[in-house]
Amino acid sequence: MSTTATPTGGKAAFDTRAFVKQYAIVGILVIFVVILAAVTGGKFMQPQNLLNVVTQVAAIGIIAIGMTFVIITLGIDLSVGSILALSAVVATSFAQIPADNAKYPNMAFAIIVPILAGLGVGLAAGFVNGWLISTFAIAPFIATLGMMSSARGLALIYSDGRPISRLDPGFNFIGQGNIFGIPFPIILFALVAVGAHIVLNFTRFGRHVYAIGGNEQAARVSGINLKRSTLVIYSMVGALAGLAGIISAARIGSGNPQLGTGIELDAITAAVIGGTSFKGGIGTIWGTVIGALIIQSLNTGLVLLGMSDFVQMVVKGAIIIVAVILDERKNR
């Protein structure tokens, strides 16, 4: 008769490997912050700078959360930055203070109108992505690449290539206000993160997301409606990009058609650093949140060091390559 060794006292043995795998990303963030504090002479750790980092991470983090759903299902969305810009200019056009040179002269809209307009534009653009991918079997890379160009062009056309400014203070509160001392963008980011975590881990839809990424054929045989799931996922990402556009425009007080340029790279990098696998079926919301904090910390740290945008692009490109290589090695 065979016997199995059990830990003393009947308690489960501590799995060091599992613990490290689960919390390694937190350790990386801590080490990264310490390094930035050292190389910037303590500037990075100043309270105002830390508050700026957390506030500015909202747009990247919200989009990265949506990107997590997409990558888990073996997809990609390159259009989020352009959708952000399109949503921003549409939303701000309805948030302008009435004036002769406003987009809609002498017309005042309730604050809910620009919010719904921005979210609606993002949702519609995301729906088109999902429809193209699910109906015509177009590769997500190609479908969203086309949307990236189209949405950016529409943003430039709608705004005449100029920022839309003179916004209602109520709209600007979304990006500049605070509640009990907590910046409103942080509150929105936290609500999105908690909601996404619940959806991904405690709903049937969340189980479908993981199943599609783990084995699409098996998911289809088990009765999962792949077309509907794809439509919902890409529509959701579009809506989140719309929300990020509203936050970004409200934070700077104008809707610029160039907003969100390159943010898709930050979002993808944040998701991958946070443990979302390009092989599908693996990823967590909290890992992505920490990944977004790492990316925003990197952006801020490089600015404090006087590095140009060009250097930042090189560094972030290198980081995502390293992250993908590590992901490949981990999942062999």
pLDDT one-digit tens code per residue, 43-83 = 888 888 888 888 999 999 999 999 999 999 999 999 999 99
More confident residue, 51 or 84: 84
Contact by Cβ (8 Å): 244, 86: no
Other C-beta atoms lying within 10 Å of the C-beta of residue 183:
20
This prediction has a pTM of: 0.90
Q: What pLDDT, on a 0 to 100 scale, did the predictor assign at position 117?
A: 97
Q: What is the mean pLDDT of residues 209-229?
A: 95
pLDDT one-digit tens code per residue, 100-126 = 667 777 677 889 999 999 999 999 999
Q: Which of 74, 110, 71, 57 is nearest to 244 (CA)?
A: 57
Q: Which domains does the chain have, with CATH numbers?
A: 24-330 (1.10.3470)
Run of H or E including 277: none
Query: Is 3 a residue whose pLDDT tops 50?
Result: no
Contact by Cβ (8 Å): 29, 57: no
Q: What pLDDT, on a 0 to 100 scale, did the predictor assign at position 92?
A: 96
Kindly report each contact of residues 232-236 with a partner whose C-beta sits within 8 Å and lies 24 or more positions away, as own/partner. Answer: 232/130, 232/205, 233/69, 233/70, 233/73, 233/75, 233/130, 233/209, 234/70, 234/75, 234/77, 234/126, 234/127, 234/129, 234/130, 234/133, 235/123, 235/126, 235/127, 235/130, 236/66, 236/69, 236/126
Burial profile 245-265: b = 16 or more Cβ within 10 angstroms, e = fewer: bbbbbbbbbbbbbebbeebbb
Q: What is the mean pLDDT of residues 73-99?
A: 95
Q: What pLDDT, on a 0 to 100 scale, did the predictor assign at position 2?
A: 44
Q: What pLDDT, on a 0 to 100 scale, did the predictor assign at position 52?
A: 86
> d(Cα 52, Cα 186) in Å, to the nearest integer?
10
Joined tokens for residue 107: 């017309």
pLDDT one-digit tens code per residue, 152-205 = 999 999 999 999 999 999 999 999 999 999 999 999 999 999 999 999 999 999
Q: Supply the DSSP string of 95-160, one letter for each residue.
A: TBPP-TTSSSTT----THHHHHHHHHHHHHHHHHHHHHHHHH---HHHHHHHHHHHHHHHHHHHHT
Burial profile 127-155: b = 16 or more Cβ within 10 angstroms, e = fewer: bbbbbbbbeeebebeebbbbbbebbbebb
pLDDT one-digit tens code per residue, 295-307 = 998 888 888 888 8
Question: Sign of dihedral through CA atoms 176, 182, 188, 190?
Answer: positive
> How far is residue 310 from each of residues 149, 262, 289, measured CA to CA in Å?
22, 12, 25
Q: What pLDDT, on a 0 to 100 scale, did the predictor assign at position 102?
A: 74
The residues pairing with 34 across neighbouring beta strands, listed in sequence order, are: none
> d(Cα 165, Cα 188) in Å, to the nearest integer?
23
Q: What is the mean pLDDT of residues 207-215?
A: 96
Query: Which residues, 6+ apart, have CB-to-CB distance to 324 below 8 Å?
Result: 272, 278
Question: Sign of dihedral through CA atoms 195, 196, 198, 202?
Answer: positive
Contact by Cβ (8 Å): 292, 60: yes
DSSP reduced 3-state for 211: helix
Q: What pLDDT, on a 0 to 100 scale, did the predictor assign at position 132?
A: 97
Contact by Cβ (8 Å): 120, 114: no
pLDDT one-digit tens code per residue, 5-43 = 444 554 555 555 655 555 566 777 788 788 888 888 888
